[in-house]
Amino acid sequence: MPRIVVDVMPKPEILDPQGKAIVGALPRLGFTAFSSVRQGKRFELTVDGEVTEEILAQARDAAETLLSNPVIEDVVNVEVVEA
Amino acid sequence: MTELPLIGEAVAVAAHPRLAGAKIGVVTFPGTLDDRDAARAVRLAGATPVELWHAGTTLGDVDAVVIPGGFSYGDYLRAGAIARFAPLMSKIIDAANSDAKLPVLGICNGFQILTESHLLPGSMIKNDHLKFMCRDQVLRVENNTTAWTGDYAAGQEITVPLKNQDGQYIADEKTLDALEAEGRVVFRYVGFNPNGSRRDIAGISNAAGNVVGLMPHPEHAVEAGFGPELGSGTEGLGFFTSVLNKIVGDNK
């Protein structure tokens, strides 16, 4: 069944406390190549049947109203992934 | 509801014959923790608490609403994000924005729900130090003209408990400047900023002053013997007596 993937990231101007903690932990494990980490969210919305334009529009609407908070986050990607 | 008092004397500070008739709704979502404490605070202030369930579709005849703290819907997605779309919330949003300007207080998770509802600007993210923090916190009352702060003096410092993990208040600079200019920063952290909140902001109000949200917990500082050791321990009671005096004043 097809899925719609929605990716949400903290806004660039917002310091991401979780990303900051992760970037601090990486060098302790020997991963020294990474100067910054930002942590976002990936949602997978399963659709029973074909993904129509209308369903995709619903997913975009849901991404803006529920899945993300526009004050602190951006929806960076909405795409269809065939199973 | 537990009968009063557990220990000490339960004194209705704002004793007024009309206050007992005032009804303050206290909302319970799945995962709410502090609804019983909030209801108790309402009773100690001299009014009648009314239990409101998140799935309800009416506010009944309540004169004000408290959205208490906790972890509504497990804080899944974002703190307050799912609670914001509960059936009762649309009633609260409409009543808060109506001409009647229903007084609404959001405490901790309740504050997060109010920002997710866009009744208050900005948002909360994880504490800058990433840890859950629980402490007695000194706040300064920056605005004593809201529905929930009228019984305090402007600039008064009060001590109430604070306990949160997602308590870092953020908004863009333009929003912060507007909040400051309009006197809508209602509470500021004093001495120590426990979560990295912008400009030490602990609580804010909407433009009309009927909707107030804050991260610390006034409902845990309403009864001698249970509140913070610093100060009287009952310095949160003023929130609840303030709104009662406001209700009585409006109904004169």
- Give pLDDT, residue A82: 84
* Order of strands across the sheet that contains B185-189: B48-53, B23-28, B64-67, B104-107, B211-214, B201-205, B185-189, B133-141, B157-164
Give the span between the Cα atoms of B43 and B9, in whole angstroms. Answer: 13
8 Å CB contact between B107 and B66: yes
* Shortest distance, CA A66 to any CA of chain B (angstroms): 7
pLDDT over 60 (residue B158):
yes
- Does the active-site annotation cover B219? yes
User: Hunting for tokens 């001409």 — which residue is that?
Assistant: B99
CA angle (B212, B223, B30) in 5-degree steps: 55
CATH number at residue A50: 3.30.1280.10
Query: Given A13, A18, A66, which is nearest B126 (Cβ)?
Result: A18
CA of residue B44 relative to chain centroid, distance:
16
8 Å CB contact between B106 and B114: yes
Architecture of domain B19-250: 3-Layer(aba) Sandwich (3.40)
pTM for the model stands at 0.89
pLDDT digit string, tens, across residues A9-31: 999 988 888 898 899 999 999 99
If one counts every other C-beta atom within 10 angstroms of the C-beta of residue A50, the result is 8
Q: Which domain holds residue A9?
A: 3-81
CB contact under 8 A, B127 and A17: yes
Name the domain count of chain A. Answer: 1
Q: Where are the alpha helices (DSSP H) in chain B?
A: 35-44, 87-97, 109-116, 173-181, 237-250
- Does the active-site annotation cover B108? yes
If one counts every other C-beta atom within 10 angstroms of the C-beta of residue B52, the result is 24
pLDDT digit string, tens, across residues B203-245: 999 999 999 999 999 999 999 888 998 889 999 999 999 999 9
Q: Is the ipTM of this complex over 0.90?
A: no
